[in-house]
Amino acid sequence: MLEGSLPIPPPSIVNYEVKHNKLSGQVSPAFCTLSSIKYIDFGHNNLSGMLPDCLVNASDSLLVLNLVHNSFGGTILEICTDGSQLRMIDLSCNKFKGCLPRSLSSCLMLWTLNLRKNQLEDEFLSWLGTLPDLSMLMLRSNNLHRNIEKPISNSVFFFEICVINLSYNVFIVKFPSEYFQKWNSMKSFNATNSSYMKTVSNFITRTSANSDFSWTQYYPMSIKITVKGVDRVFHQIQDVFVVIDFSSNMLEGEIPDSIANLQGIRVLNLSNNILSGSIPSTLGNITMLESLDLSQNRFHGQILPQLKQLTFLAIFNVAHNNLTGPIPQGNQFATFETSSYDGNLGLCGYPLATKCWNS
C-alpha cells in the first residue's frame, strides 16, 4: 500500500521491485545512474509521464524492464543498444503512442516483448522476426494496421516464437502458408525436458568480512490470454505452451492446411475476422489443442468428424458462421454447450434441439 513517488535506490542496487502499490508521479532521472541494475519492476502502480531518455544508459546491464499497468505515455524509448542484455520488456496497459523504436532489433537476447493495450500506431513489426530468441510477442489492443507481408525466403522469421497475440488491431491479410513453415518452435511437442520460462541470474558480492556471498535471482515470465471471452493470467508459462491469437482483426481467406504442421499449438483463436471457406479437417491433427475459437467468421460447410481426434479440447466455439450438417458426436463434443454453435441455422444434432434427418 505504498504511496508517494518512487524511492531512489542506492547506485549499486541490482533488483528494484515495487509492483502492486500506489506509487505515483514520474520516474526520476536518478534511475539512469544505476550502473548494476538487472531487474526493474514498476508494475501495477499509478506512475505517469514520459520515461527519462537517459534510462537507455541502464540497458547494458538490464535484463527485465516491467512497467505493466501504469499510465506512462509518449513514445517508447530507444531502449536497446548494441550489446543489450534485455530478456523481457513489458510495457503493457499504458498510454504509449506512435511507432515502435527500430532499435529493438538490437535486443538480440530478447525473449518476451509485451506491448498489449497501448495506443501504438504502426505497421506489422515483421522486422522483430529477426530476433533469434524471441518466443513471446504480445501486441493486442493497439492501432497496428495494414498488411502482414510474407517473410523473405530463407530468412529467420519468428523462428523461436511460441506465443503470438495480434488480436484487436486492424491487420489485413490472407493466411500465407509461409508463416507456419517458419515457426519451428510450434511444430513439435516434447514435454520431457520442458521448463518454466524465466530469467536466471547468479550474483556474487564481497561482504565486509572479506568473504563472498552469492545468490540466484529468478524472474518468471507471465502473460494474460483471453479464453472464451475471459482474460486469464498465467503467472508461470512452460516453454511448450503454444498460443496463436489473431482474433478481432480483418483477416480474410481460408485457413491453410499447413497450419497442421504446428503440432504444438494449445490455444488457437481466429474469432471475429472475415475468414471463409470450410474448417480444414487437418486441424484434427493438432492433437494437443485445448482451445479452438473460430466464431464470428464466414466459414461454411460441415464440422468434419476428424475434429473428434482433439481429445484435449476443452473449449470449442464456431458460433455465428454459416455451418451446416450434423455436429460430430462423442469424445469432447459431448461436453460443449449450445452456445458453441449459436448463429449456424443449418447445424443439427446434440446439443442442439434441431434433430438431424437422413434423406
Instruction: Answer yes or no: is 255 within a domain.
Output: no
Residue 326 lies in a domain: no
Q: Of 69, 63, 71, whose CA–CA distance to 89 is shortest?
A: 63
Quick one: which of 26, 20, 231 has its CA closest to 8? 26
- Residue 297 lies inside a defined structural domain of this protein: no
Would you state the pLDDT for residue 204?
65
pTM for this model (two decimals): 0.89
Contact 291, 228 (CB under 8 A): yes
C-alpha–C-alpha distance, residues 112 and 90, integer Å: 8
SS3 category, 333: helix
Nearest alpha-carbon partner for 290 in 263, 310, 307: 310
In which residue ranges of the chain is pLDDT below 70? 146-156, 175-177, 189-211, 213-222, 227-229, 235-240, 358-359
Query: Helix, strand, coil: what percent of the chain each, to 5?
Result: 15, 30, 55
Residue 139's nearest CA partner among 172, 98, 180, 168 is 168
Amino acid 187: pLDDT: 83
For the record, the C-alpha cell of 225 comes out as 490470454
Residue 190 forms part of a structural domain: no
| pLDDT tens for each residue of 60-105 | 788 899 999 999 999 998 888 887 889 999 999 999 999 999 889 8
Please, how many CA atoms are within 13 Å of residue 309, restricted to the half-sphere of its CB? 13
For residue 58, being part of any structural domain is answered with yes
Is 169:143 a contact under the CB 8 Å cutoff?
yes
- Give dist(CA 80, CA 59) in Å, integer: 6
**CATH number, domain with residue 67:** 3.80.10.10
352: cell is 442442439
Domain that holds residue 94: 3-172+196-237
Average pLDDT, the chain: 86
CA–CA distance, 268 with 316 (Å, rounded to integer): 10
Q: 153 in a domain, yes or no?
A: yes
Whether 339 is in a domain gets the answer no
In a domain, 55, yes or no: yes
Q: How many helices (H) and strands (E) does the chain have?
A: 1, 28
What pLDDT is stored for residue 41 in this prediction? 93
- Retrieve residue 211's grid coordinates: 568473504
The residues, ordered by sequence, that sit 6+ positions from 271 with a Cβ below 8 Å of its Cβ are 247, 248, 293, 294, 295, 296, 297, 317
pLDDT of residue 57: 77
- Rounded Cα distance between 268 and 289, Å, is 8
pLDDT at 172: 81
CA 140 to chain centre: 8
Q: Based on the structure, what is the number of domains in the chain? A: 1
- Residue type at 338 in one-letter notation: T
